[in-house]
Structure 1
């Protein structure tokens, strides 16, 4: 029998073309967290301007949510159209946490703001985007507490926002996916509010890096470099607390039980070391009886799925997210006798 040959995963040609297009627009980020954050946001704004990223005209509103013993968290509400939904409209609500390695990103970034507007319109849902604090200026466990407080605020104010407390989802990308998963754990242990769905996009769920998958990396990005950068971000987020990375509030995959968590939709990218995290978390949820779907996008990198106007696979991922969010418009299924 002839031996099977295994090719190293290749980057999608559309991703390569897009990266070449934006490369001249990007300034090198400094090593300091504050400097990196500033330059990254400037790069984001410059890139979105050059790419003519559309900023849709949808109604928005900002609120400040108090957080016990930690900094308050600002949230921005996005409605599906230019008109704010009336109380009693019973629209679904997605509470979403942006990504950025716990150190950069935010709801004021042009790309994130544009994405929230587009998803709210396309899915016909209200999006509440939480601007949790960045590390290292504010460290763990402030961020999980901020995100859980945002969830409590959404449940309390759902009706007046025009939403339904029975149609709430929690989602996030990358580090935001970590915080979304952690929020569902905190919710289960505290007030156990109804959550219909957790939407996790390239999530990091193990800050010990025990599930990172370096198999898809190219020779140009050695795994040792990726691990070094990852450990630096983890240190900035967790500080020097011994064993903090093993806390379920830092690494939700290490929770003693995943039973009773919301149904999940998880996407991963073939050339992303966090692929291992997302797919391992899907298996952990499934083993605990949680309904879960996981989709791996071949040839994609950690960030490529965010550019749906330029990369066909990203456009497909956008459609998949919208389709899953649209299921929130359906009535919640009645629990079975066995589940009860």
Structure 2
């Protein structure tokens, strides 16, 4: 047996086989795909034993100028909401996180995402603020980016009221949510320059030109590229120039200087692996501290197979350890110029 050719991890492959009989057929429209995926979410979670832990939570709906309202949910790491933090006192770190789903599916009410937010808040001892954004194609760019920016602004402005610390903010996201997290960071740098300690990106989609995409094993290339074009067009519309807008494709930004330290996770068998790793290189060249971990034998979704795939559980522990560093004073690294 050859171990040089990339293969799906045996545990992830076993989960795929276990779930396959219950997985819905892919829909032809975004609405069908959304409905099918939403129906499958609790089935998958029940099969893997994924469910919510009891924590204090609170929901808010925010007005977004020129766009639909944005909804968010706050998760505290305990069953009781802490008191507001006095000025100058160190409150809890805050992670603002955006879910993934190709811009067309998922949300903060999904069993898997809700359980993930709860576990990360509890295990890392941080406040998690999960932001909701509108689905494509019903709403297109820049709606989602502006909604996520509004969620982040609200989190920063209300940090002490929530028992948090505006000096211990992090922004994260997975897949399409990683795109919106990176866009929010660029918006923050360009608009407000609030202090952010960390960007946490998991299998992120960062360049909608498709320059770094590679088709996944087992998917015919024609089918793959048709799906990729569909998702991009649903989100951006038919104006191809938008694919190079840095708030749509953060990897296309002219400069990455001034962005916060990054931790990025990519998967060996993921079509988006090139996006995350190119972004890591771009940040490094700009003098931004960055760590990028490639998960061997994993695909785009297998990191979600908590309690069934060892790598998935390890990634959770690794992310928790990373988030726990927000409780400490940041490490000060030498300033490195953009031109090395």
Stretches of structure 1 that go unaligned for 5 or more consecutive residues are none
Distance across 2 between alignment mates of 1:69 and 1:332: 37
Instruction: Name the stretch that deviates more: 83-92 or 189-198.
Output: 83-92
Q: Secondary structure of the equivalent of 1:165?
A: strand
Stretches of structure 2 that go unaligned for 5 or more consecutive residues are none
Distance across 2 between alignment mates of 1:66 and 1:265: 31
Q: Does the Cα contact within 8 Å between 2:287 and 2:335 map onto a contact in 1? A: no
Please say if 1:110 is aligned against 2:107: no
Please say if 1:76 is aligned against 2:73: yes
The residue number in structure 1 matching 2:25 is 28
Q: Does the Cα contact within 8 Å between 2:236 and 2:242 map onto a contact in 1? A: yes
Within 5 Å, give how 1:122-201 maps onto structure 2. Answer: 122-201=123-202
Aligned length: 332
1:32, distance to aligned residue in structure 2 (A): 1.2
CA RMSD of aligned residues (A): 1.6
Partner deviation per Cα, 1:139-172 (whole Å, 9 max, x = no partner): 1001111111111100100001110000000000
The 4+ residue runs of structure 1 with deviation greater than 3 A are 332-339
The residue number in structure 2 matching 1:245 is 243
The residue number in structure 2 matching 1:101 is 102
Residue from 39, 57, 60 that aligns with 1:60 = 57
1:291, distance to aligned residue in structure 2 (A): 0.3
Q: Does the Cα contact within 8 Å between 2:96 and 2:129 map onto a contact in 1? A: yes
Please say if 1:270 is aligned against 2:250: no
Distance across 2 between alignment mates of 1:17 and 1:335: 43
The residue number in structure 2 matching 1:39 is 36
1:6, distance to aligned residue in structure 2 (A): 8.7
Distance across 2 between alignment mates of 1:186 and 1:179: 10
1:338, distance to aligned residue in structure 2 (A): 8.6
The residue number in structure 1 matching 2:283 is 285
The residue number in structure 1 matching 2:229 is 231
Q: Does the Cα contact within 8 Å between 2:200 and 2:264 map onto a contact in 1? A: yes
Q: Does the Cα contact within 8 Å between 1:173 and 1:200 map onto a contact in 2? A: yes
Distance across 1 between alignment mates of 2:136 and 2:324: 34
1:59, distance to aligned residue in structure 2 (A): 0.7
Partner deviation per Cα, 1:90-121 (whole Å, 9 max, x = no partner): 00000000000000010011000011001110
1:337, distance to aligned residue in structure 2 (A): 8.5
Instruction: Name the stretch that deviates more: 261-270 or 63-72.
Output: 63-72
Partner deviation per Cα, 1:266-308 (whole Å, 9 max, x = no partner): 0000000100000000000000000000000000000000122
Q: 1:179 to 1:305 in 2, by over 3 A?
A: same
Residue from 7, 12, 35 that aligns with 2:9 = 12
Q: Does the Cα contact within 8 Å between 1:166 and 1:332 map onto a contact in 2? A: no
Q: Does the Cα contact within 8 Å between 2:48 and 2:305 map onto a contact in 1? A: no
The residue number in structure 1 matching 2:300 is 302
Q: Secondary structure of the equivalent of 1:77?
A: strand
Q: Secondary structure of the equivalent of 2:101?
A: coil
Instruction: Name the stretch that deviates more: 228-237 or 326-335.
Output: 326-335
Q: 1:293 to 1:338 in 2, by over 3 A?
A: closer
Residue from 230, 253, 256 that aligns with 1:255 = 253
